[in-house]
């Protein structure tokens, strides 16, 4: 089996993750874990899949819209603002979920959880003036 992709936002990562049920691509750099988030394009209406680092909070998944500390939110996050219903793939399980942005104390707690998984988030936060959104993904019944 080939090595996990090293570029995070690539189509190859998505392809290999899907082909192998996450065997390739779930564990990424520095031991971080990756899920596949499929959003609905806010202008195209087309499905858009992005591999993202995640943390777990009980039965919920937590992702961070850091875009490496860029000044603007990533496209996938802007898609969520229009259509919060998404599809997730975690390893070989694919299921519907609903996204919401954490705020206040919940955001601070979940930010700390995310930083445990990917310490670079703290560096990204220093690069930008925006508050980096922390997104909670909760499984829905579909």
Tell the CATH superfamily of the 11-139 domain: Electron Transport, Fmn-binding Protein; Chain A (2.30.110.10)
So what's the pLDDT on residue 5?
A: 44
Compute the distance between CA of residue 36 and CA of residue 29 in angstroms, rounded to an integer. 16
- What average pLDDT values come out for the chain (142 residues) when binned by 10 residues? 50 92 91 95 95 96 96 95 97 97 98 96 95 97 72
Q: Which residues pair with 52 in a beta bridge?
A: 35
For residues 3 and 28, what is the distance between their CA atoms, to the nearest angstrom? 10
What's the pLDDT at 116? 96
Name the maximum alpha-carbon separation found in the chain. 43
Q: Can you say whether the dihedral through the CA atoms of 6, 89, 107, 44 is positive or negative?
A: positive
């Amino acid at each position: 089996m080939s090595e996990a992709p090293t570029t995070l936002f690539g189509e190859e990562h998505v392809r290999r993750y899907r082909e192998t049920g996450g065997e390739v691509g779930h564990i990424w750099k520095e031991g971080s874990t990756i899920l596949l988030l499929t959003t609905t394009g806010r202008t195209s209406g087309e499905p858009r899949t992005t591999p993202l680092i995640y943390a777990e909070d009980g039965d919920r998944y937590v992702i961070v819209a850091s875009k490496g500390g860029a000044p603007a939110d990533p496209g996938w996050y802007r898609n969520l603002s229009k259509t919060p219903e998404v599809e997730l793939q975690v390893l070989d399980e694919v299921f519907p979920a609903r996204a919401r942005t954490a705020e206040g104390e919940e955001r601070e707690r979940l930010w700390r959880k995310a930083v445990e998984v990917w310490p670079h988030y703290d560096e990204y936060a220093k690069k930008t003036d925006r508050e980096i959104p922390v997104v909670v993904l909760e499984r829905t019944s579909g």
